[in-house]
Copies of this chain bind each other. A is one copy, B any other.
Amino acid sequence: MSMFQAIELGHRLDKKEYKKREERLKTGLLELQRRLRKSNSTLLVIVAGVEGSGKGKVVSQLNTWLDTRGITTNAYWDESDEERERPHMWRFWRDMPARGSTGIMFGSWYTKPIVEMAFGRSRAVEFEQQMMDINELERVLSEDGVIILKLWYHLSDQAQDKLLQKEGEQGLQSSPWLREHAPLREEFARVSEQAIRHTDQSYAPWHLIEAEDAYYRDIATGEILLESLQHRLDQEASWQKHAQSDPFAQGIDMPDANRSLLDLVDLEQSLDNATYKSELERLQAEASDLAWRARDEGISAVCVFEGWDAGGKGGAIRRLTQAIDARLYQVISVAAPSDEEKARHYLWRFWRQVPRNGRLTLYDRSWYGRVLVERVEGFASHREWFRAYHEINAFEKQLTDANTVVLKFWLHISPQEQLRRFEEREKIAWKKHKITDEDWRNREKWDDYRLAVNEMVERTSSRAAPWVIVPANDKKFARIKVLSQFCQALRKQLEK
């Protein structure tokens, strides 16, 4: 007995029962939507299933029952150019609904893997890998308060045959792929079953709904929605409390822990003016050439700049952008998140800006804020910033898997040098805007940052997405180091 046969039970409702239940549903759903709006949760409904099962009608029905102001419905057809040239998950990530609202996904991250596999265009290992990526993503979202509801609409073979026959007789099309998928019905069932098995997790369970009877199909959908939402909202408070006291999350004081890799950096390194100028010229010319060639090859690059306040991030970035055609790069300065950004997973705002193939994005501060300032200042709970290491690694892996060069620079200066630069800034009028009270406050937490940087590098540096610690007491040395590492990484990728 297949999984799908197990639900072919001939479920149906008569009209009277339907009306009665619908009345109750409408009131209940609207009330829950109100509670959702005030909560920290997000509702994500994934609508999937066989062709002809009425998924479109279900989506319309939900939009009728619910207050449409709180809902975004996204339908996913073929990928656009924009989408094809970014990691597979980008299009979905971009559409992620905000806290308090509901997103309905008509077509989802499941669609392409299943279709490609059913048509025999991808291999079993790729498919499994995709399912694992989905599990990972759904777990990350759940932990961030997204209530994921996955609905699969099923039609028996006989019901599908009946639909096809009707289409033929009436000459009307009821679903765009009903006829195209029909010869591969068995394949689709096999692959779909695997997808569901693989991703049926307690935090994001599948609900299989027999779709032959429209009354039953719609009421089942509504009631699953109602009960899931109610349960999760009831539990929200206790869940959040628990999330903050995760028994897994903890800091461990290692013996000799005060030693940080930053202490080993030789800050005496410097360049004389003449060497600096000639090297700058040579490397900028090379960077320009490499950026054009990367564009031709569809290779993207993401460079992250982190470092001490007054470490010289801006200057290093400018030496890079001076070299490169303005159409090829984008600099993103990360300040406090916008309301729209705060309402979503902290990685969302960075995901949005992932470059298309062949482009370069430079981040002046980045997602690493989660494990630096948010950690040190206590803006994120221990559990939140600790699991960010894993989330960041997974995020960067999606980038490198999509042919993107990922480079991360930490501009390192000594506390003495920072003090010198702060004081200079206060003295020189046109530099004064660059120094704030916050900078002075951060300086007092030098030791906390020092250890946070150490753990960050240890947990997120890798050959595929390395951290480069840049000795930056001498600005000239730092700029040349950044440029040469950039060129080297791009060259290596181009030679692959």
Contact = CB atoms under 8 A, between A and B. Distances in A.
Q: Which of A11, A255, A462 has the most CB of B within 10 A?
A: A255
A7 interface: yes
A137 interface: no
For chain A, the bracket of interface size reads 35 or more
A223 interface: yes
Contact of A389 (B200, B253, B254): B200
Contacts of A200: 389-390, 393, 459
Contacts of A10: 259, 264
Count of this chain's copies in the oligomeric assembly: 2
B227 A466 contact: no
Nearest to A230: B250
A481 to B, nearest CB: 12
A248 interface: yes
A365 to B, nearest CB: 19
A239 B250 CA distance: 14
A475 to B, nearest CB: 21
A387 interface: yes
A74 B219 CA distance: 55
Given A231-B247, A255-B21, A261 B6 contact: yes
Interface stretch (A55-63, A124-132, A268-276): A124-132
Interface of A: 1-3, 5-13, 21, 125-126, 128-129, 132, 142, 190, 193-194, 197, 200-203, 205, 207-208, 216, 219-220, 223-224, 227-228, 231-232, 235-236, 238-239, 242, 245-250, 252-256, 259-261, 263-264, 383, 386-387, 389-390, 393, 397, 454, 457-459, 461-463, 466-469
14 contacts: A2-B463, A3-B461, A5-B461, A6-B461, A9-B261, A13-B256, A125-B129, A197-B397, A201-B390, A202-B386, A207-B252, A208-B458, A236-B247, A238-B247
